[in-house]
Amino acid sequence: FQPQNIVANANTLFYKADTTEHRTKLINIFPYILGAVTPEILAKRQQINDLTRELNRKQRDLQKLKDVSEKWKIEIKGWVSLAQEYGIISRELKIDDLSFDAQVDLLKDLINKNSWDANIDSEKIIAASHEMIELRKEENSVAMELAKSKSRYTEMSQLFDSMDTYRNSLSIQVERLNISKWLRSLSEQNNTCPICRTTNVKNSVLEKLYNNLEKLEEEAGYTKTIPAAFEREYENVKKEIGILSERLSAVQKRIKIQSEMKNVSENEKYTLEGISRFLGKVQYASETFDLLGTDSELIDEINRILKELDDLKKQVDENAIEKKIDTAIRIISSNAMKLVPLLDSERPNDPIKIDYKNLTVIVSSDDGRDDYLWEIGSGSNWLAYHIAATLAFQIFFSNMVTSSVPNFIVYDQPSQVYFPQKLAAKEDDKDLDPKLDDEDRIAVEKIFKTMASAISIANKPMQIIVLEHADESVWGKVERVHKVCEWRGENQKLIPEEWIE
């Protein structure tokens, strides 16, 4: 359906595609209406989308669980190390050599201990002191590295911003000086200054402007892209900040645990009461860790979804679908190219292509430039591409073995671009028919002839319904045109007067 607000619209090719909701629906359903996918494939595509969203959610949950686990690895190691300092665990154990699971088992064993199991050992206390010193050194070292990386990242970010500002400044200057190209071309064509109209005089000011433009364009080209090496280094620095932040957080966590509980004063640390408090915190930490559970169940779920996605993707061959879509678009574009020269278009022989992902038409010029529908001026051009494109689609649908699109299309007043506004808004019923100039009359007649040609090209059952102001003198002699009803004259209207009365 091509209503009045769409049939010659520069920005919208299809009915209701001027709203985001309908536009998105149409783009998503396009492969289906082109015959590239079946309802079964559509259903499987929906399954793939749903499973992909579920997979992403579960992978985020797994990553969060892993992040928590990493923090717990640091914390549990701190608890075990402090238990060694208290002598509750053998000081012969080398904690760094133990697996995480072994450290968790030690933590659980600590729950069954009490303060009387403690065996304060001077060597272990001294070793713990040395460990604290090393941790402080590591904290300072990592903090310094992090500060350097942060400073470097800030400087590189500022450089990015400065380059953007400089590029924008150059672009503004280039735009302002662009007129010098046009003025220079005028001057070269007739050897006349386009400003003062003096002949056979070389305009030094114009040449200076043009030379400045060339320099700016050259400089803008240098700054257009940021060197790949700089971008890589920028990403590396950002990644390094993340790694160093995690390292610093881990070290500080160890220091906090090694410093033991804040609420326990130094003179109570090695007392039975202090050890009892420590064991109480260990029990709480162990219970909290158990509540977190393991990630094995989540991993099983992710693997199940991945397998299901793999099976579905084997059934949905996206490459084959894209090939079918491309073939259909080529056929439709080819049919549209046959119809455009029959209409009132300024570029009848320029190749056109249907861009279904943007729901518009692309017109290619001889110099290789691609222009979208909204970049091509005049209502007659927009109307021509609307008529040609929509008829080309209808021809394609009519030749499909099975099509989900009805075999008729409706145009509401396609000739409106040729009617003067003052005539279209009639004030006197005596002047029921807007008058067309001879040139416009020919252009409107072309619309109906093109529609008749489309039916001939299709050579299959196909109907075109036109609601039109133009009278029979314009379209009456065109083949295949059949007048159904004329709402003009005395009580000959879409809504009869008796309905109102």
Using one digit for the tens of pLDDT, what is the confidence trace for 91-123? 666 666 667 666 666 666 666 665 555 555 556
Q: Mean per-residue pLDDT for 328-356?
A: 90
Q: In this structure, are 298 and 358 located in the same domain?
A: no
- What is the end-to-end Cα distance of the chain in Å, rounded? 32
Give the count of domains, the chain. 3
Using one digit for the tens of pLDDT, what is the confidence trace for 387-421? 999 999 999 999 888 888 888 999 998 888 886 54
Of 198, 225, 252, the domain-final residue: 225
Q: Is the pLDDT of residue 73 over 70?
A: no
- Rounded to an integer, what is the distance from CA 115 to the centroid of its chain? 61
Using one digit for the tens of pLDDT, what is the confidence trace for 158-177? 887 777 777 677 667 666 65
Q: In this structure, are 299 and 175 located in the same domain?
A: no
pTM of the model: 0.52
Work out the widest C-alpha separation in the chain, in whole angstroms.
Answer: 116
Q: Is the pLDDT of residue 231 over 60?
A: yes
Q: In this structure, are 274 and 290 located in the same domain?
A: yes
Is 149 inside any structural domain?
Answer: yes
User: Which letter, b or e, does each residue of 178-212 get, where b requires 16 or more Cβ atoms within 10 Å of its Cβ?
Assistant: eebeebbeebeeeebbeeeeeeeeebeebeebbee
Q: In this structure, are 84 and 196 located in the same domain?
A: no
Confidence bin at 262 (pLDDT 50/70/90): very low
Angstrom CA distances, 174 to 88, 215, 218, stand at 77, 9, 10
Q: Mean per-residue pLDDT for 429-444?
A: 65
Per-residue pLDDT, 422: 40
CA separation for the pair 409, 396 (Å, rounded): 13
Is 313 inside any structural domain?
Answer: no
Q: In this structure, are 374 and 328 located in the same domain?
A: yes
Of 244, 271, 305, the domain-final residue: 305
Q: What does the CA dihedral 34, 39, 44, 46 come to, rounded to 10 degrees?
A: 80
Is 44 inside any structural domain?
Answer: no
Q: Mean per-residue pLDDT for 33-39?
A: 85
Q: Mean per-residue pLDDT for 66-88?
A: 65
3-state class of 196 per DSSP?
coil
Is 295 inside any structural domain?
Answer: yes
Highest mean pLDDT among 140-144, 213-217, 251-255: 140-144
Cβ-based burial of 270 (10 A; exposed 0-12, middle 13-18, buried ≥19): middle
- Which helix (H) or strand (E) element contains residue 186? helix 179-190
Query: What percentage of the chain has pLDDT greater than the value 70?
Result: 62
Per-residue pLDDT, 280: 62
Q: Mean per-residue pLDDT for 242-256?
A: 77
Residue 213's domain comprises: 170-225
Is 364 inside any structural domain?
Answer: yes
Q: Is the pLDDT of residue 188 over 80?
A: no
Highest mean pLDDT among 48-57, 251-260, 373-382: 48-57
Q: Mean per-residue pLDDT for 453-464?
A: 89
Q: Round the average pLDDT of the chain to a whole number and report it.
A: 75
Is 8 inside any structural domain?
Answer: no
Q: In this structure, are 438 and 402 located in the same domain?
A: yes
Is 5 inside any structural domain?
Answer: no
Per-residue pLDDT, 15: 84
Q: In this structure, are 270 and 142 located in the same domain?
A: yes
- Check: CB of residue 174 under 8 Å from CB of residue 216: yes
Confidence bin at 342 (pLDDT 50/70/90): very high
Of 305, 330, 349, the domain-final residue: 305
Confidence bin at 296 (pLDDT 50/70/90): low
Give 347's DSSP letter: -
Q: In this structure, are 293 and 322 located in the same domain?
A: no
Q: Is the pLDDT of residue 276 over 60?
A: no
Is 11 inside any structural domain?
Answer: no
Q: In this structure, are 377 and 478 located in the same domain?
A: yes
Q: In this structure, are 243 and 265 located in the same domain?
A: yes
Angstrom CA distances, 469 to 38, 428, 432, 463, stand at 41, 15, 9, 19
Confidence bin at 496 (pLDDT 50/70/90): confident
CATH number at residue 413: 3.40.50.300
CA separation for the pair 174, 231 (Å, rounded): 26
Q: In this structure, are 325 and 216 located in the same domain?
A: no
Q: In this structure, are 207 and 237 located in the same domain?
A: no
CA separation for the pair 131, 96 (Å, rounded): 12
Helices assigned H by DSSP within 357-465: 379-398, 421-424, 438-458
Q: Is the pLDDT of residue 9 over 70?
A: yes
